[in-house]
Structure 1
Amino acid sequence: MKIILLSILALVVVACSNSDKIALSSNAPPHHTEEGFKNLHGPEKQSGFFDYWYMRWFGDTEWANQSQQVDAIPFVQTNLARITRPDPKQRQVTWVGHSTFLLQYQGKAVLTDPIFSERASPVSFMGPQRLTELPLKLSDLPPIDAVIISHDHYDHLDADTIEALGNSTHYYVPLALKSWFLEQGIAEQNVTELDWWQGAANSEQLRVHATPSQHWSGRSLWDRFETLWSSYVIDIGDWRIWFGGDTGYNPIQFKEIGNVFDNIDLALMPVGAYLPRWFMKMPHVDPQQATLIHRDIGAKRSITMHWGAFQLAAEGIPQTLNDIKQARTDAGLTDSEFRIMPVGATETLPLDSAE
């Protein structure tokens, strides 16, 4: 039965390819290729959809059942009054879950990799299912000034959520992904594509910069690497946030980010979906590597993410929490410097995040 379901999903995923390739110019950056894009450091991702599912069901790694560990996930219902009537003088962050954060400051609201669907999947009847309930509905959100998209994987780019947001906001996306948004009915003027190290201003108070990450892209069996993947530096007034999206680790690119962008007040730091390491090392950091990124970019504090919403790898929820705490201790970081935040919580950060 599992093989039949996987075959059905493979056929559905094949039918969902919408990516466009980019033209390669003679002065193209080194991460551009004739087929799309590539990572510059570390191994390229060679495994694919069927490799993942073979490893999942027939490999030697024992997978924890995260659906039976939901009670270990810290969770609160979001205080809607705090997000709909925020103090514009306060730096405020709300973790909706996975890689979805609401950032609010100086009258601006930014949403990262929003997914409000029940599954991270191209179909509604199968695929990774949300472990906890949503702490708020999409309709509960205040007006959003900008949506930041790190890459096109289904747990980071959700068609139903984008359809619901529609043309009410502005989208910042990696190269070659704009056409997907146009196909969803988003107006061209509401989508800005960015290459690594490019930036764009939304207003005097809001600027978005695309920065490197180590990952891959693809929404089907046939479009891998055709669109770019990125992390971002987001400036809201005098508040600087780094959003990691989804990434593996290398000792070069994150130090480059730290050299170019100083005074990073807050890093939204991916830590989940990291086991088994032989399979997950290229595209996903583990908690220990996440603390290296924290140091490399010079973040004053980090909030962990990319765990507790969808089971994408073998580790269990208690192991993830223990590994985060151990990595934090090993790195000499405090609880506030490398934060485990409850899903749904809204927290106000000090104007000087070093406090």
Structure 2
Amino acid sequence: MSAHAHPPLSPPRPLGEVRSWPRTFTDRLTSPLPGVSDFVRLALRGERLRPSAEGRAQIPDLPFRPEPLPDVTAGELSVTWAGHASHVVRIGGLTVLTDPVWSQRIVGTPRRVTPVGVAWEDLPPVDAVVISHNHYDHLDAPTLDRLPRDTPVFVPAGLAEWVRGRRFTRVTELDWWEAVELNGEAGPVRFDFVPSHHWSRRGATDTCRSLWGGWVLTAPDGQRLYFAGDTGFGHWFAEIGGRYPGIDVALLPIGAYEPRWMLSPVHTSPEEAVQACADLGARIMSPMHWATFLLSAEPPLEPLHRVRAAWEAAGRPAADLWDLPVGGSRVLGRN
């Protein structure tokens, strides 16, 4: 195999398969986790993980323009941003939710600063849910509990037991580079679980007991969408782009990055997100993970200004940056 060759894609795993996993996934970390010394350093430097008062004054100007969900055919791909990492994705005739959080407040985080961009009652029937990892701002139990218990839920390795404990009956957990398929109107849609530069924890004793990652969704006609979940910048983007060429749309995080010395291993900056899009070989980038929960110190509007500047500096066409407002939608191939 040449230095630039990639292994073939794995055959799809059985839906709902019950599997065993190692006790920990700490060997998958690409950087050390923040420790007590980091929080001491944060305090000694007079820094914080929330915007300043001047930054919080920007909250009323955050983009929130909910629109009706677009009508799409089985051959079209659409993205609607509900806020943070939550999207309504239509692909291959399926409606897929990414990291759905419809709650106004999550554990350990102030109330969301923009409303949810899609009213729950306006959702079409949900065909599948993909979860990137188990942090509370990406895995929200009250939102999952609003779904029918036979909804297919695709999760990282080690997380199925938690979801099955909420009485979901069609739960599939995957390791990196594994896939499942779900039939849509036009044929099977493939869901591949891919690596990210992040970590997992939901309680005091379960650090890295489940995996973390992103998802590549591929329609029968070849349309392809990448959902990064939560991630820092690193080598995985080029690897993903090599294994899954022709990504049409990349949903990439651009917020929660300051202070940089502390958060760079796990959260991309806007400039890194633009570089990640290039490494993926993706044509379109749709920014996420900002304008919803204030998880870090940068001013709330700064990610949008910086990603637009970085996109322009990279010489990318303006039309290929889907800088959606919360509640906004775009359909591939439509103006």
The TM-score range, normalised by the shorter chain, is 0.7 to 0.9
Unpaired runs of at least 5, structure 2:
1-18
Match of 1:86 in 2: 72
Shift of 1:51: 5.4
1:77–1:168 CA distance, 2 compared to 1 (3 A): farther
1:174 and 2:156 are equivalent in the alignment? yes
Indicate the RMSD between aligned Cα atoms, in angstroms: 2.3
Match of 1:157 in 2: 139
Match of 1:11 in 2: none
Q: Write the distance in 2 (CA, Å) between the matches of 1:291 and 1:236.
A: 24
Deviations 1:41-81 (A, max 9, x none): 3x221326x955x677664236334553223211112315x
Match of 1:210 in 2: 193
Stretch of structure 1 that moved more, 327-336 or 305-314: 327-336
Match of 2:228 in 1: 244
SS of match in other structure, 2:60: helix
AA aligned to 1:103 is V
Match of 2:250 in 1: 267
Match of 2:82 in 1: 96
Q: Write the distance in 1 (CA, Å) between the matches of 2:176 and 2:91.
A: 25
Q: Write the distance in 2 (CA, Å) between the matches of 1:194 and 1:289.
A: 27
Deviations 1:74-105 (A, max 9, x none): 1112315x3xx533343221111111111113
Match of 2:99 in 1: 113
Shift of 1:334: 2.6
Aligned pairs, number: 310
Q: Write the distance in 1 (CA, Å) between the matches of 2:252 and 2:52.
A: 23
Q: Write the distance in 2 (CA, Å) between the matches of 1:224 and 1:281.
A: 19
Match of 2:35 among 44, 47, 52: 47
8 Å CA contact 1:216–1:225 kept in 2: the answer is yes
Match of 1:70 among 38, 52, 59: 59
Q: Write the distance in 1 (CA, Å) between the matches of 2:271 and 2:333.
A: 26
The 5 A counterparts of 1:3-18 are none
Shift of 1:23: 4.7
Match of 2:16 in 1: none
Match of 1:257 in 2: 240
Unpaired runs of at least 5, structure 1:
1-20, 25-33
Q: Write the distance in 2 (CA, Å) between the matches of 1:174 and 1:105.
A: 21
Using the aligned pairs only, state the percent identity.
35
AA aligned to 2:193 is A
Q: Write the distance in 2 (CA, Å) between the matches of 1:304 and 1:220.
A: 29
Match of 1:326 in 2: 309
**Structure-1-length-normalised TM-score:** 0.81
AA aligned to 2:291 is G
The 5 A counterparts of 1:24-35 are 24=22, 35=24
Match of 1:128 among 110, 132, 137: 110
Match of 1:283 among 244, 247, 266: 266
1:233 and 2:216 are equivalent in the alignment? yes
1:134–1:23 CA distance, 2 compared to 1 (3 A): closer
Match of 1:196 in 2: 176
Shift of 1:344: 0.3
Match of 1:145 in 2: 127
SS of match in other structure, 1:160: helix
Shift of 1:301: 0.7
8 Å CA contact 1:255–1:296 kept in 2: the answer is yes
8 Å CA contact 1:151–1:174 kept in 2: the answer is yes
Q: Write the distance in 1 (CA, Å) between the matches of 2:314 and 2:143.
A: 37
